[in-house]
A and B are shown apart, each in its own frame.
Chain A
Amino acid sequence: MATLPATGETHSATQRAFRLPPLAAAGTFVALAAVALLSATTGAAGLAFGDVLTALVDRLPLVDVDSQLSARQQGILFQIRLPRLVLGMLVGGSLAMAGAAYQGVFRNPLADPYLLGVSAGAGFGAVLALGFGLDVGWGPFDALPAAAFLGALVAVTASAAIARGAWRSPATLLLGGIAMAAFFSAAQTYAIGQLSETRTREVLSWLFGQLSTSGWRQVWILLPYVVICGAIVLLHRRHLDVLRVGDDEARSLGLNPGRARLVVIASASLLTAAAVSVSGLIAFVGLVVPHIVRLLVSHSYRVIVPLSALGGAAFLALVDTGARTLTAPAELPVGVITAFVGAPFFALVLWRNARKVAP
C-alpha cells in the first residue's frame, strides 16, 4: 500500500485485537506448574511440599542444597512419582494437541483421537506388537509406537473415507469413527483371545489406560514423538485457521489444503499412536481440552494448539493424581476418570451443536 491516506494514529484497540492473549498463556503455565507440584507432593509416602522443592532445586546443575528427604523418599520422588507425572503430562499434551489438530483439519468440533477410532486402531496395532512379542528397536524408537501408528493411520484414513469428504458434518465423520472403533475393538478382542494367560493379563491392564511406570523408560520412548510431531502440528497451527474458510479460499490464500491436511493428520496420528502405546486407551482428553480453550480464550488455532498441549498436560496430570489417590491403596485406571469427565462434556457439546443446526 504505497499511498495510505493519513492513518498516523493507529487505534490501540484495533492493534490489540490482533495479538494473542498473553494472560491466558501465562495462566495455563501457572496451572501446569501448580498441578505438577500438587501431584509430586500427594500420595502415600507423604512427601512435604518444601522438601520436594529443595530436592528438585538440588538436582539443578551447580546448585547444592540439602533436602530433608531420605534416600528412600528420594527414590520415590525421582523413580516413581516424577516419571509418572512427566509421562502423564506428555500423554495428556499429545492427546489434546492431536484432538485440536483433528478438529482443525476436519473442520469438525467433535473430532477426537478416541471418537475417530484412531485410538482403537493404535490399540489394535499395539496389542499385536505387545502380545506377539514384536521386540525390535532402533535407538529411542521402539517397535510398539510404530505398530500403533500403522493401526492409527488405517483407522483415521478409513473414518475419513467413510465420511467421503463430508467431514464437516459431525455425524458422518463420527459414525465412520464408530464403525472403525468397533471393528478394531473386535479385532483386538480376537487377538487377545489368542494370547497365553500371562500375556493376556499384561495386555489387558495396559488397555485400560494406565500410567503406571517403571522408571523413566516410557518417557524416553514417548519423548521423541512428542517433540517432532508436536513441532510439526505447532507449525501448522495457522494453516488450521486458514483451512477454516474452506479449501477453495485457503488455496486462494496460498495454502495447499490437501498437503497441509495430510501432514497434520499424519503427525496427529503418530502423536496419538505414541501416546496410546505407552498409556493405553485414554478417552476424551482430545475433545475436552481444546473445547475448554475455545470456550475460555479463543477460537483461533494459533491459540488452541499450544494451549491445548499445555492444558492437556495439566489436565491428565491432575486426573492421574486423582486416579492414584482417590481410592488408595487401590488405583483407578486413569482412562476411567477421563471418560467420567469427558462423556458428559461430549454430550453437552453435541447438544449445543444440535441446537445450532436446528431451525
Chain B
Amino acid sequence: MSTAAAPRSAAPALSVPPALSCHEVHVTFDETEALRGVDLHLAAGEWLGLIGPNGAGKSTLLRAIAGLVDHGGEVSLGCGQRPGGTDVALVPQIPILPEGMTVAEYALLGRSPHLGWLATESRRDRRISSEVLERLDLQDFADRPVTHLSGGETQRVVLARALAQEAPILLLDEPTSALDLGHRDAVLELIDTLRRSDGISVIAAMHDLGTAARFADRLALIDRGRIVADGPPRSVLAPGRLSDVYATPLSVHTVEGEIVVLPAPRARRDHQP
C-alpha cells in the first residue's frame, strides 16, 4: 500500500517531491477525541481521497497535517521534517474572503511562506502569482474584488492562492461542496491536470463517494477518528462496510466503468424503524 517516496536526497532541487506520513496522530478537543491514532502515508504524485461521514475527522486530519491544530503523534515529510507553509498548501472548506481584496492580492498571499523577514514580494513572486492566475484562466479577474465572484470563480481563486504557495502537497477540504455538477467536475479536472503536470500530491476530503472514487488513486475511509479502510477505491467501497460506517443501507454499482454509491432501495430498509 504505502509506496513511501525516496527521501529528499542531497540535491536540493525538488525533482522528487517528498511524500508525507502520519504516525499515530491524535487530536482531542475538550475531552472528545476527534482523531484516535491515524496512520497514513502519501506517495509522491498520488491523489488520496479522504471519505467518511460528517464529524468522522476528515477536516481535523487535514488541519493536523497543515499544523493548524495541536496533535499528538507525528506528521512528517519524506525527509523526516514537520511540513511547513512551503510544503503543504491548504484549500479550506469555507475560505474567508476579505472585503475589498483583489484577486491578484489574494493570489499573492500564497507567496507569504516564501518571503524573508522584510516581507516584501519580489518580481519573481509577482510573476509566479500572475502565471498561476493565467493557468487557472483568471487573468481577466485580477483586478476584481474576491467578494464579487461566482462560486466556481471563487473556488479557482482560492486554488490559485494555494498553487502560488508552490507546495508539493495540496490539501483540499471539500473543495467542491458549493458547486454544481458541471463546475465541480471542471474544478476537479483542473486540479488533476495540475497534479500531473507539476507532480504534486493531493489529499482531498470529499463527500461524494462516486466522485472521490473517480479522481483518487486511493481512498482512506475515516470513521470516528480512525482509518477503517485504506486502499484502491474499488476495495474500500464495499457495500457492507459503507452501510456500517454511514449507518444507512447503501449499495455500490458500476455504471459505464465508474463506481456509483446509492442508497439501498427503500423496500430493503424494512429493518429500520
CB distance from A269 to the nearest CB of B (A): 21
Interface size class of B (residues with CB under 8 A): 35 or more
Contact across chains for B197 and A241 when beta carbons are under 8 A apart: no
| Cβ contacts B155-177/A at 8 Å (1 or 0 each) | 00000000101100000000000
Considering the chains assembled together, what is the distance between the CA atoms of A254 and B84 in angstroms? Answer: 7
The answer to whether B206 has its CB under 8 Å from any CB of chain A is: no
| Cβ contacts A1-38/B at 8 Å (1 or 0 each) | 11111010011011101110000000000000000000
Q: Which residues of the partner chain B approach A2 to less than 8 Å between Cβ atoms?
A: 15, 198-199
In chain B, positions 111-139 with a C-beta closer than 8 Å to chain A are 112-113, 115, 117-121, 126-135, 139
The answer to whether B68 has its CB under 8 Å from any CB of chain A is: yes
Contact across chains for B113 and A253 when beta carbons are under 8 A apart: yes
User: Given that A17-B104, A17-B142, A299-B98 are known contacts, is A253 also in contact with B130, CB under 8 Å in the complex?
Assistant: no
The answer to whether B264 has its CB under 8 Å from any CB of chain A is: no
Q: Which residues of the partner chain A approach B121 to less than 8 Å between Cβ atoms?
A: 18, 238
Q: Which residues of the partner chain B approach A7 to less than 8 Å between Cβ atoms?
A: 131, 134-135
Considering the chains assembled together, what is the distance between the CA atoms of A129 and B90 in angstroms? Answer: 51
Residue in B66, B130, B197 whose CB lies within 8 Å of A18: B130
Residue in A239, A241, A253, A294 whose CB lies within 8 Å of B85: A253
Q: Which residues of the partner chain B approach A238 to less than 8 Å between Cβ atoms?
A: 112, 115, 119-121
In chain B, positions 10-66 with a C-beta closer than 8 Å to chain A are 15, 63, 66
Most buried by B among A13, A237, A241, A254: A254
| Cβ contacts B70-105/A at 8 Å (1 or 0 each) | 000000000000001110111010011111111111
The answer to whether B208 has its CB under 8 Å from any CB of chain A is: no
Contact across chains for B135 and A4 when beta carbons are under 8 A apart: yes
Residue in A4, A14, A253, A299 whose CB lies within 8 Å of B139: A14
The answer to whether A228 has its CB under 8 Å from any CB of chain B is: no
Closest partner residue, chain A, to B126 (CB atom): A18
| Cβ contacts A229-254/B at 8 Å (1 or 0 each) | 00000011111011011101101111
Q: Which residues of the partner chain A approach B131 to less than 8 Å between Cβ atoms?
A: 1, 4, 7, 10
Closest partner residue, chain A, to B118 (CB atom): A235
The answer to whether B185 has its CB under 8 Å from any CB of chain A is: no
The tally of CB-CB contacts under 8 A between chains A and B is 114
In chain A, positions 205-246 with a C-beta closer than 8 Å to chain B are 235-239, 241-242, 244-246
Contact across chains for B101 and A300 when beta carbons are under 8 A apart: yes
Contact across chains for B198 and A3 when beta carbons are under 8 A apart: yes
Q: Which residues of the partner chain A approach B117 to less than 8 Å between Cβ atoms?
A: 235
User: Given that A14-B139, A254-B113 are known contacts, is A248 also in contact with B130, CB under 8 Å in the complex?
Assistant: no
Contact across chains for A248 and B84 when beta carbons are under 8 A apart: no
Contact across chains for A11 and B139 when beta carbons are under 8 A apart: yes
Closest partner residue, chain A, to B85 (CB atom): A254
Considering the chains assembled together, what is the distance between the CA atoms of A19 and B104 in angstroms? Answer: 9
Residue in B63, B112, B143, B199 whose CB lies within 8 Å of A17: B143
Contact across chains for B96 and A14 when beta carbons are under 8 A apart: no
Contact across chains for B98 and A248 when beta carbons are under 8 A apart: no
Considering the chains assembled together, what is the distance between the CA atoms of A91 and B126 in angstroms? Answer: 35
Considering the chains assembled together, what is the distance between the CA atoms of A313 and B128 in angstroms? Answer: 36
Q: Which residues of the partner chain B approach A252 to less than 8 Å between Cβ atoms?
A: 66-68, 85, 88-90, 92
Q: Which residues of the partner chain A approach B199 to less than 8 Å between Cβ atoms?
A: 2
Considering the chains assembled together, what is the distance between the CA atoms of A15 and B113 in angstroms? Answer: 21
Residue in B63, B115, B120, B135 whose CB lies within 8 Å of A5: B135
The answer to whether B252 has its CB under 8 Å from any CB of chain A is: no
User: Given that A235-B117, A238-B119 are known contacts, is A245 also in contact with B95, CB under 8 Å in the complex?
Assistant: yes
Q: Which residues of the partner chain B approach A5 to less than 8 Å between Cβ atoms?
A: 135, 197
CB distance from A247 to the nearest CB of B (A): 9
Contact across chains for B166 and A249 when beta carbons are under 8 A apart: no
The answer to whether B233 has its CB under 8 Å from any CB of chain A is: no
The answer to whether B108 has its CB under 8 Å from any CB of chain A is: yes
CB distance from A167 to the nearest CB of B (A): 14
Contact across chains for B105 and A300 when beta carbons are under 8 A apart: yes
Considering the chains assembled together, what is the distance between the CA atoms of A11 and B126 in angstroms? Answer: 13
Contact across chains for A14 and B134 when beta carbons are under 8 A apart: yes
User: Given that A10-B131, A253-B85, A299-B101 are known contacts, is A15 also in contact with B66, CB under 8 Å in the complex?
Assistant: no
Q: Which residues of the partner chain B approach A1 to less than 8 Å between Cβ atoms?
A: 128, 131-132, 163, 166, 198
Considering the chains assembled together, what is the distance between the CA atoms of A351 and B170 in angstroms? Answer: 42
Q: What are 15 of the A-B contact pairs (CB < 8 Å)? A: A1-B198, A3-B198, A5-B135, A14-B104, A14-B139, A17-B103, A17-B142, A235-B117, A235-B118, A237-B119, A238-B115, A245-B98, A251-B66, A251-B67, A254-B112
Give me the interface of B with A, judged by CB distance under 8 Å: 15, 63, 66-68, 84-86, 88-90, 92, 95-105, 108-110, 112-113, 115, 117-121, 126-135, 139, 142-143, 163, 165-166, 197-199
Q: Apart from A17-B102, A252-B88, list 7 A-B contacts with CB within 8 A.
A: A10-B134, A238-B120, A245-B109, A246-B96, A252-B85, A252-B89, A299-B98
- Report, nearest first, the 9 A-B pairs whose CB atoms are least far apart: A254-B85, A299-B100, A254-B113, A17-B142, A17-B104, A244-B98, A18-B126, A238-B119, A253-B112
